[in-house]
Amino acid sequence: MVLKLYGSLTAAVMRVYCILLEKNVPFELIPVDLRKGENRTPEYLAKQPFGQIPCIDDDGFVLFESRAICHYIATKYAHQGPDLIPQDLEKNALYQQWASVEAFQFETKAVGVVTEAFYKPVFWGQEKNQTLYDEHLDKLGKTLDVYETVLSKQKYLVGDELTMVDLNHLPYAMLLGARGGTNIMQDESRPNVVRWFNELSSRDSWKAVLAKLAEQQQ
Amino acid sequence: MVLKLYGSLTAAVMRVYCILLEKNVPFELIPVDLRKGENRTPEYLAKQPFGQIPCIDDDGFVLFESRAICHYIATKYAHQGPDLIPQDLEKNALYQQWASVEAFQFETKAVGVVTEAFYKPVFWGQEKNQTLYDEHLDKLGKTLDVYETVLSKQKYLVGDELTMVDLNHLPYAMLLGARGGTNIMQDESRPNVVRWFNELSSRDSWKAVLAKLAEQQQ
């Protein structure tokens, strides 16, 4: 049975979609319409008790949380497509370190920016709080200053080899431009961040995610 | 050279301290006084570019982010003390899933509660926002409702064996009572959450962390 990916193309679902393409894993995208409450049905809650997307059903094995799903796919298909998780003790530790940085230092700030610029005014009918927007953007800039220093010495966050932690940044790095009203990922004062982001977002996997997103938004 | 753990006993440092004790790893705690700005010196920033605690120096290998440090210790010392990370593909995937839940569904809400009840009024000289406090507590309750269902069927979050993801909850689960002004971890309407939390917090490792904390606060 082909792997089922449940969800519409939110940031977290795009993250999983990208890794499935990187690892050449056949899958079926099963839409879950949040506006119709399809994430709150008893059938869906039996798979994902928090009512969030995505979750997967891999021949009966059900799993949720996007980063955990990506980790599972990259582990199960380690020898298919690029090797995305280093196994060496210290390299793996640095991979875990940057995975935490992505979650806590990058995405939390990026979510804050996109929330003020887009989710609040467009989705939730609330006013943008400019002070909060500026605070989140300032903190995000400080995070990217650290990235710039690291990426001036090596190609990717963990070293000179691509890992999943680089790719996991893509959904919110893209949304900052598309929905967050900021060109922070293209700021030439951080040339190595620009190089890194442009290389990642030029990958066939990510271009296919964006094509799918454009198709759904038509 | 004995492993060096840098930091004063904040929640994130307590998380690492607990795992070092669980795995019987000798270490030296090196105080980093945030009030004196010891986390912003060039020497410290060379180890931890975000200026946060904790970080470790394990015979020259430097690592930060508390969950990444715990993962490294539990991997390096897999065969010493309890086995805290399942290796089987699906069990490991569920471990990763609950690790994400701990970070995003549990701690973010718990931090919100403790921030309003303690950090804002006591540390930052700001007013407690009761509406935000209530919102965070309500969301935390909904998270613990899911935990209750899971823990009514198995002993721990990943299955019937203890994993690191259970232990990683301890710092904020404790702080909710000590600083958050809520007995939510002892709420008898969720008897299995109470059983789980009481068992975890009765472990020798955690009791030693609390003893160290009490010693520092004298």
Select the residue from A16, A57, A63, A96 to test the B interface by mutation, using most B Cβ atoms within 10 A.
A96
Percentage of chain B modeled with pLDDT above 70: 100
Task: Say yes or no to pLDDT of B218 above 80.
Answer: no
- Residue B149 and residue A100: Cβ atoms within 8 Å? no
Residues 6+ apart with CB under 8 A from A35: none
CA distance A53 to B61: 37
In this structure, chain A runs to a length of 218
Numbered residues of chain A with Cβ closer than 8 Å to any chain B Cβ: 49-50, 61, 63-69, 71-72, 75-76, 89-90, 92-94, 96-97, 99-101, 103-105, 143, 146, 149-150
- Looking at residues B151-165, what average pLDDT do you find? 98
Element (H, E) at A44: helix A42-47
Task: Say yes or no to pLDDT of A201 above 80.
Answer: yes
Residues of A in contact with B92 (CB under 8 A): 72, 75
- Looking at residues A31-57, what average pLDDT do you find? 95
Closest CB to A93 among B68, B97, B100: B68
- What's the token pair of residue A67? 């980063």
Fold classification of A89-207 is Glutathione S-transferase Yfyf (Class Pi); Chain A, domain 2 (1.20.1050)
pLDDT of residue A123: 86
- Residue B97 and residue A61: Cβ atoms within 8 Å? no
Percentage of chain A modeled with pLDDT above 90: 95
CA distance B127 to A134: 22
- Looking at residues B107-135, what average pLDDT do you find? 95
pLDDT of residue B133: 97
Are A183 and A27 in contact by the 8 Å Cβ rule? The answer is: no
Task: Say yes or no to pLDDT of A192 above 80.
Answer: yes
DSSP summary character for residue B198: H
Could you tell me if residue A162 is left (phi over 0), alpha (psi between -120 and 50 degrees) or otherwise beta? beta
Alpha helices, H only, chain B: 11-22, 42-47, 66-76, 89-101, 108-114, 130-151, 164-167, 170-178, 191-201, 204-217
pLDDT of residue B52: 96
pLDDT of residue A20: 98
Other C-beta atoms within 10 Å of A112: how many? 19
- What's the token pair of residue B184? 């939510």
pLDDT in tens, B61-72: 999 999 999 999
Are A109 and A182 in contact by the 8 Å Cβ rule? The answer is: no
Are B56 and B3 in contact by the 8 Å Cβ rule? The answer is: yes
pLDDT in tens, A2-41: 999 999 999 999 999 999 999 999 999 999 998 899 999 9
pLDDT of residue B217: 79
Closest CB to B93 among A68, A90, A143: A68
ipTM above 0.85, yes or no: yes
Residues of B in contact with A71 (CB under 8 A): 93, 96
pLDDT of residue B191: 98
pLDDT of residue A1: 86
pLDDT of residue A189: 98
pLDDT in tens, B23-45: 999 999 999 998 899 999 999 99
pLDDT of residue A153: 98
Strand order in the sheet with B55-58: B27-30, B3-6, B55-58, B61-64
The band of B141, judged by pLDDT with boundaries at 50, 70 and 90, is: very high
How much is the CA Rg of chain B, to the nearest whole Å? 17
pTM value is 0.96
Task: Return the closest-CA partner of residue A217 out of A6, A10, A43.
Answer: A10
- Residue B96 and residue A67: Cβ atoms within 8 Å? yes
CA of B100 to nearest chain A CA: how many angstroms apart?
A: 6
The band of A68, judged by pLDDT with boundaries at 50, 70 and 90, is: very high
- Listed by start position, the domains of chain A span 3-81, 89-207
The reply to whether B89-207 shares the fold of B3-81 is no
pLDDT of residue A76: 98
Closest CB to A72 among B63, B93, B143: B93
pLDDT of residue B126: 94
CATH of A3-81, one of 3.10.450.50, 3.30.420.40, 3.40.30.10, 3.30.465.10: 3.40.30.10
CA distance B35 to A5: 47
Task: Return the closest-CA partner of residue A50 out of A72, A68, A75.
Answer: A68
